[in-house]
Structure 1
């Protein structure tokens, strides 16, 4: 097993599910923010907390790639250096927008004012547009090289880094958001492939119901 996981060549398909999560989350976020009525503090708090959580998740995801992916790709596949440079630059641009979002959210949270709400939505619009470009280019230009030059053990370190940043109390909700971005006919197969039996049982008995309630709250579904 060790020899296999340390040999160059890995399955990078799990990243497509994480990207789908971010496409869905940041695609919906500007509309969720703009849909909060002026002065509706209760609704604002729900949406602002959701935006902050997905933004934090994106930050940690990119942090993992910055720490564990780019240098290895440049060292093992010099021909990929141009693509890696593009990814680094796009990460820097995303980080700048995440800082803008961090600066805009407190003003909105202070009173749910329309102007502050619109500034949060404006930053999210820019972030969503950049992510559409970045995630697609990463899938096209980085994943083929990563799958051939990285070992499975090295690739799995990205997942481990990301999961280490998720509070234990939010694990089932994080799983729910990933599944929410997986096409429904594929979800059962995804669960069998990615979760051991005890975790699947926990999802069916506790997680699925908890996530459904959380999702309904975020999207304002009664």
Structure 2
């Protein structure tokens, strides 16, 4: 992604058309050399894996709902169960950022970054409202499974996806560089650990399979690095199959 006339909040460098945001490394790259912090940057690519999965699933969600015929309560229940998981994941992801990411960034990042954090917090508030509207629409849809409640939920999910896409783009371009440059490994790890702790054990394989579907294999290996050896071996093999089954039920294909 090429971006001109954008300031890197972690360094104060003014980007030009010769600079770009490298999504695979989660950092800006500036010709002829990369903008480097004074210390080795924290590896924040695990958040890109989470973002990619959430954005994909919320992008696909409106169509998953729209495909359910009026009165098909069993299929509506399957799709709603998946939507519940997605909404919970997004809520806990943002809760972890609110509690464990934004405060240390405000303390450690340059003062000019405060405005960027204000934007992110306002976007979280907007997403909280959109999530609540989706929850209300889900309840009405599951109760009635009629065409009217279905279309209401489709519209609510489309709005949520639009807000989420805008927020994640802002976060990846402006706040992940700040986190990589200014947070400690322990501070960053706490965010990931909080997110993992919020996932029910019964959902772990499904969620990791969701992450693995488009996630960087190197990053996925890192995410399991501290797990026991059997987990490190079995989860990468089993989790994609678990997600494929869920995708077939919800999206009509194991490879949505």
TM-score by length of 2: 0.78
Quote the residue 1:138 is aligned against: 171
Instruction: Give 1 or 2: higher helix fraction.
Output: 1
Matched, 1:195 2:224: yes
Number of equivalent positions: 212
Residue equivalent to 1:215: 247
Aligned residue among 55, 61, 69 for 1:37: 69
Whole-angstrom CA distance in 2 between matches of 1:208 and 1:69: 29
CA distance in 2, matches of 1:55, 1:205: 26
1:85-106: per-residue Cα shift (whole Å, max 9, x none)?
A: 0000000000001111111111
Structure 1 residues not aligned, in runs of 5+: 1-6
* Superposed displacement of residue 221, structure 1: 3.7
Does the CA-based 8 Å contact 1:8-1:150 persist in structure 2?
no
**What TM-score do you get using the length of structure 1 for normalisation?**
0.89
Q: CA-to-partner distance for each residue in 1:2-52, whole Å, 9 max, x for gaps?
A: xxxxx8841111111111011101110111111111111111111111111
Deviation at 1:214, TM superposition (A): 2.2
Say whether the 8 Å CA contact 1:8–1:149 is kept in structure 2: no
Q: Are residues 1:124 and 2:157 paired?
A: yes
Deviations 1:177-222 (A, max 9, x none): 001132xxx43x3443332442232225543433322221122349
**Unpaired stretches in structure 2, ≥5 consecutive residues:** 1-38
* Residue equivalent to 1:18: 50
The root-mean-square deviation of aligned C-alpha atoms, in Å, is: 1.8
Secondary structure of the residue aligned to 1:11 is: coil
**Match of residue 162, structure 1, among 191, 195, 198:** 195
Q: Give the aligned partner of residue 95 of structure 2.
A: 63
1:80-139 deviation line (CA, Å, top 9, x unaligned): 100000000000000001111111111101121111111111111111111111100100
